[in-house]
Amino acid sequence: MIWGPLTIRPLGGARNIAIGSGSFLNTNIRFGVPSAPVTIGRNVQIGPNVSFETVSHGLVYEPGKGRGDIVRPIVVEDEVWIAAGAIITGGVTIGRGAVVVAGAVVSRDVAPGAVVGGVPAREIVKA
């Protein structure tokens, strides 16, 4: 079930999104998916204002080249809950049954069953 609206960047990026059965996406979900995919498993709950960003930039500016793009996929396994306002960055896998608390910025893998929160997100309840 998708309540929408969804933002998918760039146009045509929807081909890089897979959503499993029984999953729920609340309002104002953003997918930044120019080339790497976002895969969402079954029975996943996603709160409002969550962003999935598969692209980031390098920290060093090179004259004539810019910062360059770092593009990596995102995987959300089955039965995960991502609460309101979380940001999930490229290269992250969120393990089955994990919880991401509201406002967290997830930049590392999350173990199955773990509860993570903060900026950057850290495990606050052991799996």
57 assigned to active site = yes
**Contact between residue 34 and residue 56 where contact means Cβ atoms under 8 Å apart:** no
Check 57, 67, 108, 122 and give the catalytic one. Answer: 57
Q: Where are the beta strands (DSSP E) in the chain?
A: 6-9, 17-19, 24-25, 29-32, 38-40, 45-46, 51-53, 55-57, 69-71, 74-76, 81-82, 87-89, 93-94, 99-100, 105-106, 115-117, 122-125
**Contact between residue 98 and residue 106 where contact means Cβ atoms under 8 Å apart:** no
Give residue 67's Cα distance to chain centre.
Answer: 22
Task: Please identify every residue annotated as catalytic.
Answer: 57
